[in-house]
């Protein structure tokens, strides 16, 4: 009997491995191997002509990370990603709250509306924003008609933040929605019953109980914002170079593969740290 | 505080959800210090009444007072009541002690004082040692007691309990019943207890209100509710009962089928038909020739079915007034009858009830 159980368990685990094989192969081929290449390149040497030679391993690419220019770009990327994350949170939380407290039918319609922009090409959406924010675009004209005068927002950090908030808002809405939706509303009633006013009940119960959604959403917005490439390329001017564009430039115009690779490795490390922090926080709560 | 006020008063309270009438024009007065149960099947409106007292719902019509004060649209946090929720609703991100302290801190009690008070109440419910645990680390019975402590620590005017024992297994439920009852005596707070379990209501309550489909059908002490239901639903919902069609003849005698019987108390009007209700255990079963006490109703019949319950026998007896279910304790002196035996059934006129539909 025991032997039969054991062989059944083995068959189960064989079946499990078999099912996972395509995904595993895919990730190995298109994720793990390129990642290995990047890490290897980051220790390689760039010749004077811009070629990369895989001899004479060194850390000079990592040294360059601490140059003033790089630190300035990292700092700019960091605060713009932070502002984007905070704005997304401010916009998404009330909306997710509204969404989660609707009747199921209304909720599903609203969820589809949230997803629709996702089914449109991201590049087109960003160009639409560029048109919207242009100096004689609709936003500026509306402002002029309302008597606030025209404004020039395109090719400024503000335009980049607006574009990133727009691009990544869904990543904030969905985890928040899930967290709020699965919260037990009886707990809010319990807080109200124990003399907490509406605001205090939110602060003491709703907010802490939906914090997992806040953290997950913040990471999902912060990480792509921090390494964002398309949005700042289209909406930001030459003065608002962000990390994503800077990395792309190393592999492109500057032809400095080892340095670009080193930047990428650091970016990946930052993101991994963020994920670990999130998981620690989750584990502590459980 | 209002010394002479009733704990809770409902006057013509109606609650509609859209077109659905959840609570239909209810008048009810619950006295200070009373253990009052609202009993009924799920969806009968009992929880809605509790939620209106707590302030989670507001009446569509009528008004409601707690401790002599009209509640109107007063929000839950400004009412002198606390609730023990059905699945406890303990805050999962706080320790047991923090849960119990919550209400006190919200009322701006200094933190040290709140902690001391909370600890005392936790001791009272025998959870003093578990204050630092998270609520998820407790058993169902322990969570139940934390929920009680969290409400009682605030010394509310009225404690509202929404099926608090529903999630516990039978043995624990019975333990908690007596614990709740003694706690009620100890703290002297008015309890309003919502349940669909007749046994809970009968064993703990000072008075019971039986509800069905938004209506409050009968409000009375447990023994009156059980022994003298006034409505068909109340009789049927609680325990087992014989319900038989009877009429009052023009000469004032009461006819039960072909048999003539006596009622205690005022009879229905002459010429009217009504439902006579009598509990199986209120009926005696004797041999056909045995003498029966004077003044009892007695009808002869035949045993058609016998069921053994261990502690009792249940007989179905076919009589001229209909089939009666009779329950006899299985005592050593109990005379057993077999199917087909001729018997005599008898009961005191004051054991039966007249039901209105």
Percent over 90 (pLDDT), chain B: 72
Tokens in use for B125?
A: 């419910």
What is the interface pTM, i.e. ipTM, of the complex? Answer: 0.84
pLDDT at A267: 87
Domains and CATH numbers, chain A: 63-285 (1.10.3720.10)
Tens-place pLDDT, residues A197-219: 999 999 999 999 999 899 999 99
In this prediction, residue B3 has a pLDDT band, given cuts at 50, 70 and 90, of: low
Q: How many CB contacts within 8 angstroms connect chain A with chain B?
A: 63
- Spatial contact of A214 and A179, defined as CB atoms under 8 Å apart: yes
Residue B11 vs residue B174, higher pLDDT: B11
Q: What is the pLDDT of residue B89?
A: 94
Region B273-293: what's the mean pLDDT? 89
Paired with B276 in beta bridges are: B244, B354
B144: which 2 tokens? 């139940």
Q: Is the pLDDT of residue B345 over 80?
A: yes
Task: Tell me which residues of chain A have a pLDDT lower than 70.
Answer: 1-3, 284-286
pLDDT higher than threshold 60 for residue B326: yes
pLDDT score of B301 more than 90: yes
Tell me the pLDDT tens digit for each residue of A244-277: 989 999 998 888 999 999 999 988 888 888 888 8
What does the pLDDT read at residue B4?
67
Please tell me what DSSP assigns to residue B267. P
Instruction: Kindly tell me the sign of the dihedral angle through the C-alpha atoms of A73, A74, A79, A82.
Output: positive
What whole-number distance in Å separates Cα of residue A71 and Cα of residue B166? 61
Q: What is the pLDDT of residue A222?
A: 92
Q: How many CB atoms lie within 10 A of CB A242?
A: 26
Query: B238 and B212 in contact (C-beta within 8 Å)?
Result: no
| Measured distance CA(A154)–CA(A132) in Å, rounded | 9
Q: Is the pLDDT of residue B212 over 70?
A: yes
Cross-chain Cβ contact A192/B107 below 8 Å: no
Per DSSP, helices labelled H in chain B are: 46-54, 96-106, 111-124, 140-152, 170-187, 198-204, 222-227, 232-237
Nearest one of A155, A152, A129 to A140, comparing CA atoms:
A152
Distances (CA, A) of A90 to A8, A27, A93, A96, A169: 52, 35, 6, 11, 10
Tell me what pLDDT residue B348 has.
Answer: 92
- Select from A193, A200, A209 the Cβ nearest to the Cβ of B82: A193
Of A261, A95, A184, the closest CA to residue B135 belongs to A184
Q: How far is A192 from chain B (nearest CA, A)?
A: 5
Residue B265: pLDDT over 90: no
B346 strand-pairing partners: B284, B298
**Which of A53-62, B132-141, B142-151, B243-252 shows the highest mean pLDDT?**
B142-151
Q: How confident is the model at residue B9 (pLDDT cuts 50, 70, 90)?
A: very high
Please report the pLDDT score of residue A285 as a whole number.
62
* Chain A interface includes B102 (CB < 8 A): yes
Q: If we measure between CA atoms, which residue out of A37, A36, A4, A46 comes closest to residue A257?
A: A46
Show residues of chain A in contact with B75, CB under 8 Å.
Answer: 192, 197-198
Q: What is the pLDDT of residue A286?
A: 54
Q: How confident is the model at residue B357 (pLDDT cuts 50, 70, 90)?
A: low
Measure the CA–CA gap between B251 and B270, rounded to whole angstroms.
Answer: 8
Å between B134 CA and nearest CA of chain A: 10
Concatenate the DSSP letters of all residues of B170-235 into one string. Answer: HHHHHHHHHHHHHHHHHH--EEEEEES-HHHHHHH-SEEEEEETTEEEEEE-HHHHHHS--BHHHH
Task: Pick from A179, A185, A193, A210 the residue to mutate for testing the B interface (most B CBs within 10 Å).
Answer: A193
In this predicted structure, the answer to whether residue B92 has a pLDDT above a threshold of 60 is: yes
The whole-angstrom distance between B67's CA and the closest CA on chain A is 17
Q: Does B17 touch chain A (CB under 8 A)?
A: no
Which domains, ranges and CATH numbers included, belong to chain B?
8-235 (3.40.50.300), 240-355 (2.40.50.100)
Rounded to an integer, what is the distance from CA A55 to the centroid of its chain? 35
How confident is the model over B177-210, as pLDDT tens digits? Answer: 988 999 999 999 999 999 999 999 999 999 999 9
């Amino acid at each position: 009997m025991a032997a039969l159980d054991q062989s059944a368990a083995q068959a189960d685990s064989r079946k499990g491995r078999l099912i996972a094989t395509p995904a595993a192969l895919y990730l190995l081929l298109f994720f793990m191997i390129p990642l290995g290449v990047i890490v290897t390149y980051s220790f390689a040497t760039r010749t004077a002509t811009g070629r990369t030679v895989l001899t004479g391993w060194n850390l000079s690419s990592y040294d360059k990370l601490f140059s003033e220019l790089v630190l300035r770009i990292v700092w700019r990327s960091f605060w713009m990603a932070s502002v984007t994350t905070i704005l997304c949170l401010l916009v998404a939380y009330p909306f997710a709250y509204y969404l989660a407290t609707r009747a199921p039918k209304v909720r599903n319609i609203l969820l589809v509306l949230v997803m629709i922009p996702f089914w449109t090409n991201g590049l087109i959406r960003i160009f639409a924003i560029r048109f919207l924010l242009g100096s004689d675009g609709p936003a500026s004209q509306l402002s002029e008609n309302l008597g606030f005068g025209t404004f020039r927002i395109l090719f400024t950090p503000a335009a980049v933040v607006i574009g990133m908030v727009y691009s990544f808002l869904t990543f904030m809405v969905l985890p928040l929605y899930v967290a709020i939706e699965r919260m037990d509303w009886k707990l809010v009633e319990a807080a109200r019953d124990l003399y907490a006013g509406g605001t205090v009940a939110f602060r003491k119960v709703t907010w802490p109980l939906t914090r997992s959604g806040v953290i997950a959403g913040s990471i999902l917005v912060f990480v792509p914002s921090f390494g964002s490439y398309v949005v700042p390329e289209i909406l930001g001017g030459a003065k608002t170079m962000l990390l994503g564009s800077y990395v792309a430039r190393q592999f492109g115009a500057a032809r400095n593969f080892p340095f670009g690779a080193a930047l990428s490795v650091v970016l990946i490390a930052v993101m991994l740290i963020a994920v670990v922090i999130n998981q620690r926080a989750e584990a502590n709560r459980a | 505080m209002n010394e002479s006020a009733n704990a809770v008063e409902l006057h013509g309270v109606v609650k509609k959800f859209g077109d659905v009438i959840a609570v239909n024009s209810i008048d009810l007065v619950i006295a200070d210090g009373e253990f009052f149960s609202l009993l009924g099947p799920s969806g009968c409106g009992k929880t809605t009444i509790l939620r209106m007292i707590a302030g989670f719902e507001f009446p569509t019509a009528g008004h409601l007072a707690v401790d002599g004060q009209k509640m109107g649209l007063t929000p839950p946090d400004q009412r002198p009541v606390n609730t023990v929720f059905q699945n406890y609703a303990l805050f999962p991100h706080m320790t047991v002690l923090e849960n119990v302290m919550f209400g006190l801190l919200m009322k701006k009690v200094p933190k040290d004082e709140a902690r001391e008070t909370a600890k005392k109440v936790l001791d009272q419910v025998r959870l003093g040692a578990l204050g630092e645990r998270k609520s998820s680390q407790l058993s169902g019975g322990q969570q139940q007691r934390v929920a009680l402590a969290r409400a009682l620590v605030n010394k509310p005017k009225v404690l509202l309990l929404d099926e608090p024992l529903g999630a516990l297994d039978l043995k624990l439920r019975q333990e908690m019943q007596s614990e709740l009852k003694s706690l009620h005596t100890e703290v002297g707070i008015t309890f309003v207890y919502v349940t669909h379990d007749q046994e809970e209501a009968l064993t703990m309550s000072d008075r019971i209100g039986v509800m069905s489909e938004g209506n409050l059908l009968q409000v009375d002490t447990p023994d009156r509710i059980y022994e003298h239901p006034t409505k068909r639903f109340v009789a049927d919902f609680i325990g087992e009962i014989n319900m038989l069609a009877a009429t009052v003849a023009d000469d004032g005698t009461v006819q039960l089928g072909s048999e003539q019987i006596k009622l205690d108390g005022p009879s229905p009007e002459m010429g009217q038909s009504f439902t006579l209700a009598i509990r199986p255990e209120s009926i005696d079963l004797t041999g056909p020739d045995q003498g029966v006490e004077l003044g009892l109703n007695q009808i002869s019949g035949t045993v058609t079915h016998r069921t053994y319950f261990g502690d009792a026998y249940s007989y179905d007896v076919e009589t001229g007034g209909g089939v009666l279910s009779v329950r006899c304790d299985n005592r050593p002196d109990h005379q057993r009858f077999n199917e087909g035996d001729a018997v005599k059934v008898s009961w005191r006129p004051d054991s039966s009830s007249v039901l209105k539909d």
